[in-house]
Amino acid sequence: MKELEIKANDAGQRLDRFVGKAVPLLPESLLQKYIRLKRVKINGKGAKRDTRLSAGDLVQLYINDEFFEKPREDNAWLKVGAPKLTIVYEDENVLLCDKKPGVLCHSAGVWDYNTLIAHVQAYLAQKGEWRPKEENAFAPALCNRIDRNTGGIVIAAKNAEALRILNDKIRDREIDKLYLCAVQGRPKPSAGRLENYLFKDAKKNQVFVKSRPEPGAKTAVTEYRTLCSKGALSLVECRLLTGRTHQIRVQMAHSGTPLLGDGKYGSERFNKGFDEKGQALYSYKLRFDFPTDAGLLNYLRGREFRVEKIDFVEKYFGIETLEF
């Protein structure tokens, strides 16, 4: 039990608002439940959530110690009362999630509990598959990342062995990732291979295409094929043979067909005609090729997973179910 004395600056606040600030890791749903169960008291007595606090009041909190810790990325999952995940596939070792555009995989320098990793960890903790108090070091982790405004399949490992194997397989290009994107105009040719060198300016967080090798520039290779065209847009499937920052976005723009909604590499004038807040890009299909031994995960060899629907594909091309 922890006891907090109300000072003049905190007087007049509602009980639930005060406790929410004093215990920032406590989920709102759990806070309200604890007040109802009288695990939050004022001067030794239960109180309603809208009770106004007075200077000198003593608020007693019968709340687990971990909720009083300083908020960090590794404990952000505690704040997630009701995890929100779109699960593509799950077994005892891996979890494939369909990350929606606008969601961060990890916090971006500022503590944030509305990240994919926080919701994955909360989900597994609430299921009882991950018990943080019994673990010395391991926590469920994401094996790949997708930009905030890009959607698609993200792999989470439930145990250390799966994490090790998946990291190795991603590094060795044994997991095939395919993307769908809506681009301006018609790619010419309609299918092909984009190969050049990409240089990332870390300060600007922007990537530039180079036609020849130079210090800091890395080889980038993307295979693409046009699936259909409608109006001013084309739907294109891209297969990454390398994994560089903003690879599809910058290579498609360089080839003359920038992604719809791409504010960094696309056409501002063209994008104004569409109501899109981010680039129309989705990591929609994942194949576990595994040409070499995958140990614990050998059962995934040859399996393919995909998302069922993508908003921009349905909106601009009238395709409700993906069957590519």
**What are 300-314's pLDDT values in tens digits?**
999 999 998 999 999
198/134 same-domain check? no
- Residue 269 in 3-state DSSP? helix
- pLDDT tens readout for residues 160-186: 999 999 999 999 999 999 999 999 999
Residues 307 and 210 in one domain: yes
Asked whether residue 152 falls in the same domain as residue 203, the answer is: no
Q: Both 200 and 254 in a single domain?
A: yes
Residue type, 5: E
Residue 279 covered by a domain: yes
Whether the predicted pLDDT of 53 surpasses 80 = yes
pLDDT at 323: 79
* Same structural domain, 258 and 243: yes
Q: Residue 190 sits in a domain of what CATH number?
A: 3.30.2350.10
CB burial readout 139-148, b (16+ within 10 A) else e: bbbbbbebbe
Contact 252, 181 (CB under 8 A): yes
Question: 205 and 145, same structural domain?
Answer: no
- Residue-wise pLDDT for 240-283, tens only, equals 999 899 999 999 999 999 999 999 999 899 999 898 889 999 99
In a domain, 202, yes or no: yes
Q: How confident is the model at residue 47 (pLDDT cuts 50, 70, 90)?
A: very high
Do 101 and 58 lie in one domain? The reply is no
Give the per-residue pLDDT at 22.
94
Q: What is the pLDDT of residues 15-32, one digit of tens each?
A: 999 999 999 999 999 999
Residue 147: partners with Cβ closer than 8 Å, 6 or more residues away: 246
Instruction: Note whether residue 323 is domain-resident.
Output: no
**Listed residues 171, 200, 225: the one ending a domain:** 171
Give the confidence band of 292 by pLDDT, cuts at 50, 70, 90.
very high
In a domain, 324, yes or no: no
Instruction: Verify that 124 and 256 share a domain, yes or no.
Output: no
Residue 304 lies in a domain: yes
Percent above pLDDT 90 for the chain: 90
Using the Cα atoms of residue 163, residue 169, residue 175 and residue 177 in order, give the sign of their dihedral: positive
- Residue 322 belongs to a domain: no
Phi-psi sector, 189: left (phi>0), alpha (psi -120 to 50), beta? beta
Query: Whole-prediction pTM value?
Result: 0.90
Residue at a domain's end among 106, 136, 171: 171
Strands 233-240 and 217-230: antiparallel
Which residue segment(s) compose the domain that 306 sits in?
Answer: 175-317
Are 198 and 218 contained in the same domain?
A: yes
Cα dihedral across residues 42, 46, 47, 48: positive or negative: positive
Return the pLDDT at 6. Answer: 96
Retrieve residue 188's tokens: 């010419």
274 HSE (CA, 13 A, CB side): 25
Q: What are the tens digits of pLDDT across the range 219-246? A: 999 999 999 999 999 999 999 999 899 9
Element (H, E) at 124: helix 116-127
Contacts within 8 Å (CB) and 24+ apart, 245-249: 245/198, 245/200, 245/207, 246/147, 246/198, 246/200, 246/206, 246/207, 247/198, 247/207, 247/220, 247/222, 248/179, 248/181, 248/222, 248/281, 249/207, 249/279, 249/281
Number of domains in the chain: 3
**Same domain (yes/no): 35, 87:** no
What is the domain-level CATH number for residue 26?
3.10.290.10
Q: Which of 68, 89, 119 is the last residue of a domain?
A: 68
Same domain, 62 and 108: no
Q: Which has the higher per-residue pLDDT, 5 or 137?
A: 5
Q: Are residues 49 and 90 in the same domain?
A: no
